[in-house]
Amino acid sequence: MILEANQIYKSFGKLPILRGVDLSVDTGEIVSIVGASGAGKSTLLHIIGTLDRPDSGRIVINGTNISELNEKKMSLFRNKHIGFVFQFHHLLPEFTALENVCIPAFINNVGKKEAEVRGMELLKRLGVQHRAQHKPSEMSGGEQQRVSVARALINNPSLILADEPSGNLDSENAASLHQLFFELRASLDQTFIIVTHNEELANISDRTVHMRDGEILDK
Ligand SMILES: Nc1ncnc2c1ncn2[C@@H]1O[C@H](COP(=O)(O)OP(=O)(O)O)[C@@H](O)[C@H]1O
Ligand SMILES: [Mg+2]
């Protein structure tokens, strides 16, 4: 089991957003989270990804109870174990594709040469190695999203969290991005939790989790 979240509660002000969420995910599983806008999907993903803390509840990732980590240990943990892919790629505009991919490795104290070798391998695997020296503005949306997946993978995280990763892509690029997730799982045994409105992706996932009003409906 890579993730075990128990009884996660979160409010913003007086508004309850997550109301006792339980979610367990096996290593190597590809899980889709679906639900109407405002259901709390992104909030849950941020909390699982240690970008935000729950008001109460317990989250264990890879055997570590992350609720017990202080800020510094939490960000080290995040950098090593978790990769994020967002709807908008959030690539830094002034850096090349390769530089963007390498930044999390630099934060993880990996040397420049080693990071670049691995960064190029990933860009190649994702079919965008010819874009390595290009800035984000010179790439198509599909290419930018592939670069952001490479960035998510650079530190070899065991858990990849994606928030509507194909929400901004045409159907062909979306299908090819989804295909990529399955290839990565097959070759690296990575686990994916993906918030999506894409029915095709939800259908091909190992499991679909439905959220409504801050709760998971599936038993
Ligand atoms: N930082 C925040 N401060 C206040 N309200 C928030 C914040 N983040 C999210 N919300 C509210 O929480 C609810 C759930 O948001 P979100 O988790 O983004 O839903 P989803 O991703 O399912 O669309 C929404 O009503 C949203 O307005
Ligand atoms: Mg959202």
User: CA–CA separation, 44 vs 42, rounded Å?
Assistant: 5
All structural domains of the chain, each given as residue ranges with its CATH number in brackets, are 29-53+70-216 (3.40.50.300)
User: CA–CA separation, 34 vs 20, rounded Å?
Assistant: 17
For position 65, what pLDDT does the model report? 95
Q: Would you give per-residue pLDDT tens digits along the chain (219 residues)?
A: 999 999 999 999 999 999 999 999 999 999 999 999 999 999 999 999 999 999 999 999 999 999 899 999 999 999 999 999 988 878 999 999 999 999 999 999 999 999 999 999 999 988 899 999 999 999 999 999 899 999 999 999 999 999 999 888 889 888 988 998 999 899 888 999 999 999 999 999 999 999 999 999 987
**Which residue minimizes the CA distance to atom 10 of ligand 1?**
12
Classify residue 213 by burial, with Cβ atoms within 10 Å: 0-12, 13-18, 19+: middle
Is the sign of the CA dihedral 103, 105, 109, 110 positive or negative? negative
Of 44, 40, 49, 50, nearest in space to 23 by CA = 44
For position 88, what pLDDT does the model report? 81
- The verdict on the CB of residue 10 being under 6 Å from ligand 1 is no
The atom number, within ligand 1, closest to the CA of 195 reads 21
Q: What is the DSSP letter of 205?
A: S
- Ligand 2 geometric centre to CA of 75 (Å): 22
For position 90, what pLDDT does the model report? 87
For position 187, what pLDDT does the model report? 87
Model pTM score: 0.93
For position 63, what pLDDT does the model report? 94
pLDDT digits (tens, 9 = 90+) for 34-89: 999 999 999 999 999 999 999 999 999 999 999 899 999 999 999 999 999 988 87
Beta bridge partners of 12: 15
**Which residue minimizes the CA distance to atom 17 of ligand 1?**
40
**Which residue minimizes the CA distance to atom 9 of ligand 1?**
43
For position 143, what pLDDT does the model report? 93
User: CA–CA separation, 157 vs 131, rounded Å?
Assistant: 23
Closest ligand by atom to 51 CA: 1
